Amino acid sequence: MDCLRCRTSNVIASRRRSNPFSIVKRLIPNSYFLISFFLFFTACSDFFEPVDSTPEPTEYSYNYWLLQRTYLFEDELPLLDENGDSVSELYDKLSDPFTRYVLPSKSEATITHINTSVVPGDVGLEYFQITGAEHPLVIYRVYADGPAGRAGVPRHGNILNVNGVEITNYEVYDSVLTYSKDISMQIAYMGDTALYEMVKEDVYAPTVFVDTSKNIPVITITGFKLMTADKVNGTLGELKAYLDSTRNVTEPRIIDLRNNPGGHVSHCVAMADLFIKNGVISTRAWRFFSGDGEPTYNRFSEMATPGHSGENGKFVMLVNKNSASCAEIFVAALHEGAGIPVAGQTTYGKGIGQSTWNTMNGGLAIITNLEFLTPQGNSYHKKGIVPDYPCDDVSLQCGVEAVYKYFGKSTLEKARDTLFAEEHAVLRRTNDIGGAFMRGDDN
């Protein structure tokens, strides 16, 4: 304690010796010093004039500040007016269509849409239509945890009417579901007709589906979400659960990523890791800001960890021109990092990503500040990923043909002419906005 008191006294004494103001104060009597101090500053009239305080940031100035420090395409930043008042006009001056501002009234819904697979007010079904049929709407998938799944609605059943309204096309069906909470659905299946009673609710849709036909497993991934039917681990949890349960499967499988618009970077990277034994999964470069608010550039490569259940499987990826963004990160990783062939069309070619920021007034800033490279350091932005086995008609049959080429026909040859003879467009009551998203504080 004595040493601490000694050191403290020395520090105070040192500060007094180094402070000219304290030296002057010790040499002049206190009363005289105070009078002189007062007279000196009253001689300077500016001393008593009000000082302008730093203006409070506004929704506009906050978004301007973010764009100046994070927007990837710097050459456009001089176009922005520092002193404007319309946030929407601020973003409209930028050419990047993925950088946008979401109004406070819509920000919560947008965040939910980005992060989750929830379908508000639904029964938990997917559909396809048969052209020319009297009742063309057929149930393609039933979500097990939704109202339809609990009611026992059969897959591939034909919807005849809903709440007494005859269903002649999908638009009629969607209209009835939109304006009704209690649903009474008449379905024809296997020669029988039954009525199913349901109450709509917010349904978390699965994003990984597995269909097996003629010994060919097809793994369909519709997006990359933080929360899905697996409310804890999202799309990653769905895929991992399937791969873990089929670790010893030896036959080739198709990973269907057609029309997958992307989603969260954390999930598409972690899901790719399930197939890659070692090396780089993906590299991202991004524009951000340092602790003092100055713009910075960063670069980081995600590395694979060994021991996952998809590393020794046989796979072919099936893609089309609508496979985009985070889906392309996944495809590039499996292609270059695990040697998994790609069939179909050249992908969309969106090798950039967006960070999301909650703004001062409750809005949402979605700003392009990321660029992604393949494991070998290649850029696919505005180029897409070119398939090893191209097909003009990107049906599941294209994926089957690719399986023949890369793994032989022995297990599938008999099924060639009959498998997936007819494939329909899948109808869902929600559309995913896709992307390659990261939260701003995760950069």
φ/ψ of 163, rounded to 5, equals 50, 40
Is the pLDDT assigned to residue 215 strictly greater than 90? no
Total H helices, total E strands in the chain: 12, 21
Task: State the Cα–Cα distance between residues 320 and 90, nearest whole angstrom.
Answer: 34
Instruction: Give the per-residue pLDDT at 18.
Output: 33
Q: Is residue 40 part of a domain?
A: no
Greatest alpha-carbon pair distance for the chain in Å reads 110
Cα-trace Rg, the chain: 31
Helix ranges, 81-232 (H): 87-92, 104-115, 147-151, 170-178
264: DSSP letter: E
Q: What residue type is 274 in one-letter code?
A: L
Same domain for 152 and 279, yes or no, is no
Helix (H, G, I), strand (E, B) or coil at 262: strand
Q: Cβ-count burial of 293 within 10 angstroms (0-12 exposed, 13-18 middle, 19+ buried)? A: exposed
Same domain (yes/no): 373, 291: yes
| Same-domain pairing of 407 and 269 | yes
The answer to whether residue 303 sits within a structural domain is yes
Summarised one tens digit per residue, pLDDT across range 254-297 is 999 999 999 999 999 999 999 999 999 999 999 999 988 899 99
State the sign of the Cα–Cα–Cα–Cα dihedral 236, 239, 240, 241: positive
> Given this model, what pLDDT does residue 324 score?
97
**pLDDT for residue 383 is more than 90:** yes
Rounded to 5 degrees, what are φ and ψ at 39? -65, -35
> Please, where are the H alpha helices in 253-379?
265-273, 326-338
The pLDDT value given to residue 3: 38
Among 352, 385, 436, 284, residue whose Cα is nearest residue 94: 352
Same domain, 167 and 139: yes
b/e code 27-47 from CB counts within 10 Å (16+ = b): eeeeeeeeeeeeeeeeeeeee
pLDDT at 57 over 80: yes
Identify which of 340, 296, 316 has the alpha carbon closest to the alpha carbon of residue 404: 316
Q: Say whether both 298 and 404 belong to one domain.
A: yes
Please say if the pLDDT value at position 428 is more than 50: yes
Average pLDDT over residues 416-442: 68
Residue 136: domain span: 119-203
**Do 405 and 339 fall into the same domain?**
yes
Pick from 40-44, 73-77, 361-365, 429-433: least confident: 40-44
Q: How many domains does the chain contain in total?
A: 2
The pair phi, psi for residue 305, each rounded to 5°, is -115, 135
300, 185: one domain: no
Locate 416 and state its tokens.
Answer: 């060639």
Same domain flag for 222 and 196: no
Q: Tell whether 134 and 222 lie within a shared domain.
A: no
272's tokens: 């790719």
